[in-house]
């Protein structure tokens, strides 16, 4: 089974005081550490587990500059067979452009499954998977928490609202957006990453993919990013339950809430 996994290198923003860039339309990233996108980490792990069970090949694909090869080396160290970095050149990227570029590369490859993460940690849009499936003309399932390929179809378990799941069958080839928690991604050692340096890593340019200027024109432009305004702190109400309840009702009425 041939599996293509789309991965992304994202800034690590947890427990960091973010600053807005001087341009006002992004955050400052020059002082941030970068890691593989969390959801993509689960996707590459799932692909490798399928390969170990059914045999085949796993190819990791990313769009980015030379520094972004770090996540590809990690994927190779986890067990991927090949890796492709697509240099986007000058075009500004949004989900539309990313999906167009990925589709142009994947169309020329053999695949039974294409896996993406549900969303990316940096923009949280969750749109690339659905857009990519449309460009490739593939059946698509999102928020996948369980995956069992068999023959020319796969049984997938999809997370729905309210803590419920849906189990369905999808014809292959298909594109699936993987949810976190579907597995436990394996640990990757520094030695493993060094050994992965010997594996194949191809570099392509987006300008060589035959895409039109319209394909490489983004549809979304971020005009402004700003920190939320500071508000007054929380109010703590003390006393016995009856007094607390009476005070809450008074506050609610003052705010004009109709009971």
pLDDT for 236 equals: 87
- Model pTM? 0.85
pLDDT of residue 187: 92
| Short-list 115, 119, 36, CA closest to 75 | 36
pLDDT (tens digit per residue) in 183-193: 999 998 888 88
Rounded distance between C-alpha atoms, residue 123 and residue 26, angstroms: 10
Question: Token pair for residue 104?
Answer: 């142009």
Yes or no: say if 3 and 56 are a contact pair by the CB < 8 Å rule: yes
Per-residue pLDDT of 142-189, as tens digits, reads 999 999 999 999 999 999 988 899 999 999 999 999 999 999 999 988
H or E stretch at 47: helix 38-54
Domains of the chain: residue spans and CATH: 2-208 (3.40.50.620)
């Amino acid at each position: 089974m041939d599996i293509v996994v789309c991965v992304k290198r994202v800034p690590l923003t947890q427990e960091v005081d973010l600053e807005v860039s001087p341009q006002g339309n992004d955050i400052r990233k020059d002082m941030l550490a970068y890691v593989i996108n969390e959801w993509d980490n689960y996707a590459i792990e799932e692909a490798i587990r399928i390969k170990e069970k059914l045999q085949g090949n796993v190819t990791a694909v990313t769009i980015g500059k030379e520094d972004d090869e770090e996540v590809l080396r990690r994927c190779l160290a986890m067990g991927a067979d090949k890796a492709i970095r697509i240099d986007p050149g000058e075009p500004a990227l949004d989900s539309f452009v990313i999906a167009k570029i990925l589709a142009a590369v994947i169309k020329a490859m053999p695949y039974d499954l294409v896996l993406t993460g549900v969303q990316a940690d940096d923009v949280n849009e969750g749109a690339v998977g659905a857009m990519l499936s449309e460009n490739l003309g593939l059946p698509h399932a999102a928020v996948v928490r369980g995956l069992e390929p068999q023959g020319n179809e796969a049984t997938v378990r999809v997370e729905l609202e309210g803590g419920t799941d849906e189990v369905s069958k999808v014809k292959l080839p298909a594109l699936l957006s993987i949810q976190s928690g579907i597995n436990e991604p394996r640990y990757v050692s520094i030695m493993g990453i060094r050994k992965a340096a010997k594996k194949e890593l191809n570099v392509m340019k987006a300008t060589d993919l035959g895409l039109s200027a319209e394909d490489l024109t983004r549809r979304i432009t971020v005009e402004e990013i700003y920190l939320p305004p500071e508000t007054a702190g929380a109010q703590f109400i003390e006393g016995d339950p009856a007094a607390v309840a009476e005070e809450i009702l008074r506050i609610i009425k003052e705010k004009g809430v109709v009971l």
